[in-house]
Amino acid sequence: MTVTYLKHADGNAPASGTDVADTVQVMLARLKAGGAQVALDYARELDGWTAEIVVTRAEIEAAKARVPEALRADIDWAHGNIRRFAEAQRATAQDMEIELRPGLVAGQKQIPVRAAGCYVPGGRYTHVASALMSIATAQVAGVADITAVSPPSGGRGIPDEMLYAMDVAGATRILCLGGVQGIAAMAFGLFEAPEADILVGPGNAYVAEAKRQLFGPLGIDMFAGPTDSLVLADETADPDVVAIDLVGQAEHGATSPVWMATTHRPLAEAVMARIPNLINELPEPNRSVAHTAWADLGEVVLCDTRETMAAYADDKGAEHLHVQARDLVWWLDRLACYGSLFLGEETTVAFGDKASGPNHVLPTSGAARYTGGLSVHKFLKTVTWQRVDARVLPDLVRVSGEISRAERMEGHARSADIRLEKFTTPAVRAVNT
């Protein structure tokens, strides 16, 4: 298996430093102690937001009315796909029971968390799709209370199209609040929201660190870093398509790596030749961030076989994995480590980012080697139950007692023994003593 690097990543995506961790720790401590007033102080200091935090129904309706009808229809179309995919996922999570032996019945239940907090990022871009992905998925899972937060965009608050998406997806309440203070509002139950059982949604380094520090007493979707993408291509791929797909993902941010692996050197060279011009055609600030991402973190490798390409992909564990090669069934069966897989030239990661249905909140930084992305399952607790009757007690008491005593846990053994004495007949007890 031979891999030749035609373009090395010249830099490394920065990890959250101790300064971020320390800052977040102090902020969370202040927010926990001071509650809503401290959150208001941070909103004023960091975002320049002095208006109300809780978005009213009247404000939501006014924002919806300002969204052009065509854009509302597009958001509805994407929401329909995302919701239907989540509903199909929910149908795979079933309650069940089984009689393991006569008198021994066990089962599982799927119980939604009571309250979820969905962070919808703002900043450079208006992340309409992120609102749909997190909120609609929680709603389909059966979460009864969903708080959604997003930072203000200047003096106008949350953008109209974002409010429309948050509302149509099923948010119980919407807070105009970003950053660590937004995460804290959901975690600590500020502004009349219940304390969240789980926090989900992407955000900047401070948001990710806040989720990391809060994890334990409450759940999170994942430890998220900068988005990343890998294209696998053979000689059948179109260099123009591969190049624009890489540039489109580099647009996410200066710390977002994009990679390409191919078995065809002429394709790789053609793609690398096209990328600088495609980046230069982007508007600012997209152009600058894509240029930095490609220059510092872009990687192109030449592989001797498609199996080598697949092994390279499994080692990367890319968030987005796009195959532009023949025999897509082989790739679907072979590939094992990715957040979401995009098969064929007709498909693009942008479809998954915005509208096609499967969730775009995905594992980054190689985490796809051990976990998947956000789904209805993240909002469900798979819990178990069991029930026994006298038919199974002799064997169950004997085996549990023997194992307990082998482990030197006499109290466990005696709590089993008493049930043989209490719930079985003298004849049965005599046989088993």
Query: Catalytic: which of 319, 322, 345, 360?
Result: 319
Rounded-to-5 percentages of helix, strand, coil across the chain: 50, 20, 35
Amino acid letter for position 199? L
Helix (H, G, I), strand (E, B) or coil at 196: coil
Amino acid letter for position 365? S
Contacts of 83 (CB under 8 A, 6+ apart): 136, 140
Taking the chain, what is the end-to-end CA distance rounded to the nearest angstrom?
63
Cβ(127)–Cβ(121) below 8 Å: yes
Query: Is 127 one of the catalytic residues?
Result: no
Q: What are the E-state strand segments in 113-203?
A: 115-119, 145-150, 173-176, 198-200
Cβ(181)–Cβ(46) below 8 Å: yes
Task: Beginning with the edge strand found earlier in the chain, give each strand of the sheet holding 320-324 in spatial order.
Answer: 3-7, 299-303, 258-262, 229-233, 320-324, 340-343
Q: Are strands 320-324 and 229-233 parallel, antiparallel or unpaired?
A: parallel
CA–chain centroid gap for 389, Å, is 42
Give the residue from 11, 51, 31, 9 showing the smallest Cα distance to 206: 31
Q: H or E element: which one contains 267?
A: helix 265-280
Residue with tokens 């038919």: 391
Query: Catalytic: which of 127, 252, 291, 320?
Result: 320
Q: How many CA atoms lie within 13 A of 205 on its CB side?
A: 14
Distances (CA, A) of 302 to 6, 7, 136, 306: 7, 10, 40, 10
Tokens of 126: 């208006």
Cβ(246)–Cβ(298) below 8 Å: yes
Query: Is 360 one of the catalytic residues?
Result: no
Active-site annotation, residues: 319-320
